[in-house]
Amino acid sequence: MSKDAIVLGAGIVGVSTAIHLQRRGRQVTLIDRKAPGKETSYGNAGLIQREGVVPYGFPQQLGLLLRYAINNRIDAHYHMRALPGQLAFLARYWWNSNSKRHDVISRAYAPLIENSVSEHNDLILASHAEELIRKDGWMEIFRTAAKRDEELAEAERLRLEFGVDYEALSKEDIARLEPNISGPFIGGLRWRDPWSVLDPLGLTNAYLRYFESLGGRVANGDAASLGQFGSGWKVMTSEGSIEADDAVLALGPWADTATYRLGYNFPLGVKRGYHMHYAVEGNAVLNNWTLDKERGYFLAPMNQGIRLTTGAEFARRDAPKTPVQLDRAEKVARTIFPLGERLDPEPWMGARPCTPDMMPIIGKAPRHEGLWFAFGHAHHGLTLGPVTGRVLAELILGEKPFIDVSAYAPERFAP
């Protein structure tokens, strides 16, 4: 007899989980209060980051911390009034970013990243979404020899330890690859393994259509209505009450609200981020997903236009937008590439769900039967959606996960 499952949250993680459960014989209802893929899964840089085996750590150098304290950078910004409520999270994040602890975390994190491209490829082929994907990597460009040498040394370490592929770029290589980029760039590197996405929302929607073709259902509802019902779970939707044996919380930056109601107190934080799409002037073309490394902004040639993305903003999740990083980034980006007019009516803003040890929370709820967690992916939600969906479905069905997922277990925060 087949069992039913509810997946709450229709971002890339939730949609991927729903697919893998539906494939394994569960009758799945995917529930969100908004249209699928419209939150954090929409606003990223569009990268499936096979090279991202080292999660983004908290700066350790005193000089860099002092520069961030001035609060005038593109790659990081903070709301002063939000800091008191985030100090406990930030302190644990800083502590885990110590080089020794960060190295241990990276090795535990690597299996997810190492399977990110192959698991996406599975769903890309199944959903006929090949036209949304490019397989030529992305590049970082450097303004100083010191930064170039530092980053190339780190790339070589990742190649030796994790099998990540890259190539060093000269000033002439950058000019050849990007004839419309100008500026004081003395070199760069191209990460060869990652894939890029021309339309992140389009990719989520392609996966969603595939899920529906398997017999999965999509409904509008709110996770706040989730409650236990007999030996299973129930949630209210626009179609009425839906009951299931298992419920998955894939709620991204809103996961803490739902889990707190159920008696869990995970140390979740958020890093907000912004993007804007631009036209180009004249016949200019941007060929590559490109990071201006020392300035901390990203340019991505997407279907909607050139997407400019910013770094992290430390603020309350639901505080009003303060897109100062975007304004700073646009000012610099216009000096290196002929951006045209803004194409969006206002800057997009989203929130990345983060844990202080930089790894997602994937697994069974410690104190509830039939309740499962899949959130906390920080900067790599798009990258890790399909691999998370597979391993969680394997856990739910009682199968042995194809990679070791013990490091991501909820028990590390909620015994």
CA pair distance 349, 274, nearest whole angstrom:
5
Angle 192-194-198 from CA coordinates, rounded to 5°: 120
Q: What is the pLDDT of residue 3?
A: 79
Compute the average pLDDT of residues 154-170: 97
The residues pairing with 65 across neighbouring beta strands, listed in sequence order, are none
The proportion of the chain whose per-residue pLDDT surpasses 70, expressed as a percent, equals 99
Is the domain spanning 1-57+97-132+196-266+355-415 CATH 3.50.50.60? The answer is yes
CA pair distance 119, 210, nearest whole angstrom:
15
Give the predicted TM-score (pTM) of the model.
0.96
pLDDT at 83 over 80: yes
What confidence tens digit (pLDDT) does each residue in 106-151 have? 999 999 999 999 999 999 999 999 999 999 999 999 999 999 999 9
Evaluate whether 127 touches 207 at the Cβ level (below 8 Å).
yes
Q: What is the pLDDT of residue 26?
A: 97
Q: How many CB atoms lie within 10 A of CB 208?
A: 23
If you average pLDDT over every residue of the chain, what do you get?
95
Residue spans per domain, the chain: 1-57+97-132+196-266+355-415, 69-80+269-351, 138-192
What confidence tens digit (pLDDT) does each residue in 284-343 have? 999 999 999 999 999 999 999 999 999 999 999 999 999 999 999 999 999 999 999 999
What confidence tens digit (pLDDT) does each residue in 174-225 have? 999 999 999 999 999 999 999 999 999 999 999 999 999 999 999 999 999 9
Q: What is the pLDDT of residue 70?
A: 87
Give the three-class secondary structure for 117. helix
CA pair distance 50, 115, nearest whole angstrom:
8
Q: What is the pLDDT of residue 2?
A: 56
Give the three-class secondary structure for 65. helix
- Strand intervals (E) in 347-415: 348-354, 361-364, 371-375
Evaluate whether 395 touches 4 at the Cβ level (below 8 Å).
no
Q: What is the pLDDT of residue 151?
A: 97
CATH of domain 69-80+269-351: 3.30.9.10
Q: What is the pLDDT of residue 199?
A: 98
Kindly report the backbone phi and psi dihedral angles of residue 134, in degrees, each rounded to the nearest multiple of 5, phi listed first.
-120, 145
Angle 307-81-34 from CA coordinates, rounded to 5°: 45
- Whether 1-57+97-132+196-266+355-415 shares its CATH topology with 69-80+269-351 is answered no
CB proximity list for 63: less than 8 A, separation 6 or greater: none
CA pair distance 384, 117, nearest whole angstrom:
9
Q: What is the pLDDT of residue 67?
A: 83
CB proximity list for 49: less than 8 A, separation 6 or greater: 113, 116, 194, 380, 383
Q: What is the pLDDT of residue 69?
A: 86
Question: Token pair 């999270």 is at which residue?
Answer: 89
pLDDT at 1 over 70: no
- Letter string b/e over residues 2-25, b meaning 16 or more CB atoms within 10 A of that residue's CB: ebbbbbbbbbbbbbbbbbbbbbbe
Q: What is the pLDDT of residue 145?
A: 97
Kindly report the backbone phi and psi dihedral angles of residue 354, in degrees, each rounded to the nearest multiple of 5, phi listed first.
-125, 145
Evaluate whether 178 touches 286 at the Cβ level (below 8 Å).
yes
Compute the average pLDDT of residues 100-106: 95
Q: How many CB atoms lie within 10 A of CB 355?
A: 24
Sign of CA dihedral 295, 278, 33, 201: negative
Q: What is the pLDDT of residue 65?
A: 81
Is the pLDDT higher at 230 or at 30?
30
Evaluate whether 188 touches 288 at the Cβ level (below 8 Å).
no
Question: Token pair 């799945």 is at which residue?
Answer: 28
Residue 60's pLDDT band (cuts 50, 70, 90):
confident
Token pair for 373:
């967690």
